[in-house]
């Protein structure tokens, strides 16, 4: 199938809720069918605004928050529920393993009109989470999984908020759960499902297994299926949809240091030529704008200095410079900046005409480690039919899946 034919066959992604009386709720028809994955310490309001400037009208998901932390009034968690004034479809990812707590968290988000869409995370592979039976371990307990999703959907319907779900293939090769997970989420009322095509054990390596996305799409009908994993450039997104038949794509690490990827995706899905990678000067301009917005974001949230903002920005410097031949000394200096003025001075000292090296757009960024040892609670696999809730109420942060 040609790229033109493939894009013609695609359609907008509908993320729409219904209210308790069955009337239409909040929602959006997304074209192209592209969603920004929530990433801890990354997808805050400044980063989402930056991405949105390159690709208006897509779905940009906020950082994941813990249901228990929200319910119990954790101030840091509450401060993360922040959206820009022009963010008209406010999307948030929620993690929780207790149906009662999840329902209360959705109630808070809905009753205070804080969000328009909630995505549930069932893919976190962090040891501190899975060893208590949470995160990627939850889909092993089908009854508990169903109750969590139903609780979220029930609360969401009071406010017309659509509920979606994201998960991994399973724990490891012997404990694959993604087909059953997809069916359970669909039957419990989720409006879309998204698969990160790796197991928890794989973590972020090696390559994502797109064939699992195709299998999920083939075996779980009646609900849009989104694919996630190893989309580094616009062509990857089109190829994933063509090879798997999925209904949309979720962009994670591929946009780190490349917010213009969303512009490229909009162009590619609409059959327009994708622009060449920007020269270093253009990248540095975006970097400085990002840094300025991040500083302002933290000032607006009560910080009277820029230390937190500049510390957060350091990791972005490495991602922005990935693939540009600036040398190790420059990378080290950017990784140690302590003021916005240092960022500007370093940027001004570089050759703005430098081009991305061949293949630079596919160089890995973000997490690359794996495989990992996934720890489950003692005896967990002996009681998969029960509704025992994981003891994760004290967790306030984690990285997602």
pLDDT tens digits, one per residue of 18-72? 999 999 999 999 999 999 999 999 999 999 999 999 999 999 999 999 999 999 9
Q: Residues 105, 71: contact at Cβ < 8 Å? A: yes
- Measured between alpha carbons, how far is 129 from 197 in angstroms, rounded to an integer? 20
Q: Does some domain include residue 366? A: no
Q: Is residue 400 part of a domain?
A: no
Whether residue 224 is contained in a domain is answered as yes
49 with 64, same domain: the answer is yes
Q: How far is CA 107 from CA 51, 148, 166, in A?
A: 29, 14, 20
Task: Tell whether 271 and 295 lie within a shared domain.
Answer: no
Q: Are residues 262 and 296 located together in one domain of the fold? A: no
Residue 304 lies in a domain: yes
Based on the fold, state whether residues 289 and 200 are members of the same structural domain: no
What residues are annotated to the active site? 124
| Backbone φ, ψ for residue 178 (5° rounding) | -65, -35
pTM over cut 0.75:
yes
Give 78-132 pLDDT, tens digit per residue: 999 999 998 999 999 999 999 999 999 999 999 999 999 999 999 989 888 888 8
* Residue 140 sits in the same domain as residue 261: yes
pLDDT average, residue stretch 241-255: 98
Give the domain CATH number at 138.
3.20.20.70
Which tens digits make up the pLDDT trace of 54-68? 999 999 999 999 999
List, in sequence order, the alpha helices (H) in 74-209.
75-80, 99-111, 127-130, 142-157, 178-188
User: Measured between alpha carbons, how far is 401 from 398 in angstroms, rounded to an integer?
Assistant: 9
Residue 71 lies in a domain: yes
In this structure, the answer to whether residues 241 and 287 fall within a common structural domain is no
Question: Which residues face 16 on adjacent strands?
Answer: 27
Cis? peptide before 206, omega within 30° of 0: yes
- Name the domain count of the chain: 2
The reply to whether 337 and 248 lie within a common domain is no
Q: Do 348 and 241 have their domain in common?
A: no
> For residues 94 and 121, is the Cβ–Cβ distance under 8 A?
yes
162 and 306 share a domain? no
Distance CA 373, CA 381 (A): 16
For residue 217, being part of any structural domain is answered with yes
One domain, residues 298 and 257: no
Same-domain pairing of 375 and 300: no
* 195, containing H or E segment: strand 193-196
The parent domain of residue 298 ranges over: 280-355
Q: Which one, of 278, 260, 258, 369, lies nearest residue 319 by Cα?
A: 258
């Amino acid at each position: 199938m040609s790229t033109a034919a493939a894009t013609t066959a695609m359609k907008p992604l509908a993320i729409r809720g219904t209210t308790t009386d069955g009337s239409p709720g909040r929602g959006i028809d997304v074209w192209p069918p592209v969603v920004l994955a929530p990433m801890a310490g990354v997808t805050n309001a400044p980063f989402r605004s930056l991405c949105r400037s390159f690709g208006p009208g897509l779905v940009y998901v906020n950082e994941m928050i813990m249901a228990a932390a929200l319910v119990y009034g954790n101030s840091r968690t509450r401060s993360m529920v922040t959206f820009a004034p022009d963010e008209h479809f406010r999307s948030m990812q929620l993690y929780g393993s207790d149906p009662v707590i999840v329902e209360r968290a959705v109630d808070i988000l809905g009753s205070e009109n804080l969000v328009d869409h909630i995505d549930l995370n069932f893919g976190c592979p962090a040891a501190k989470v899975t060893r208590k039976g949470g995160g990627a371990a939850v889909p092993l307990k089908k009854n508990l999984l169903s109750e969590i999703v139903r609780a979220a959907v029930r609360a969401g319907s009071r406010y017309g908020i659509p509920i979606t779900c994201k998960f991994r293939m399973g724990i490891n090769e012997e404990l694959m759960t993604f087909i059953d997970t997809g069916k359970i989420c669909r039957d419990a009322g989720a409006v879309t499902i998204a698969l990160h095509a790796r197991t928890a054990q794989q973590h972020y390596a090696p390559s994502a297994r797109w064939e699992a996305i195709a299998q999920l799409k083939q075996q779980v009908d009646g609900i849009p299926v989104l694919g996630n994993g190893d989309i580094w450039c616009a062509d990857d997104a089109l190829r994933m949809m063509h090879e798997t038949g999925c209904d949309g794509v979720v962009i994670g690490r591929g946009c780190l240091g490349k917010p213009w990827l969303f512009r490229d995706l909009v162009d590619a899905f609409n059959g327009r030529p994708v622009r060449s990678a920007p020269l270093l000067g253009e990248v540095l301009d975006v970097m400085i704008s990002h840094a300025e917005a991040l500083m302002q974001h933290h000032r607006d949230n009560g910080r009277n200095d820029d230390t937190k903002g500049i510390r957060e920005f350091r990791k972005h410097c490495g991602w922005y410079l990935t693939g540009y031949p600036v040398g190790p000394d420059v990378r080290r200096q950017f990784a140690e900046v302590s003021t916005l003025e240092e960022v500007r001075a370093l940027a001004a000292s570089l050759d703005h005409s430098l081009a991305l090296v061949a293949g630079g757009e596919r160089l890995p960024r973000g997490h690359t480690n794996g495989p990992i040892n996934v720890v489950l609670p003692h005896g967990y696999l002996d009681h998969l039919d029960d509704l025992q809730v994981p003891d994760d109420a004290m967790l306030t942060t984690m990285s997602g899946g």
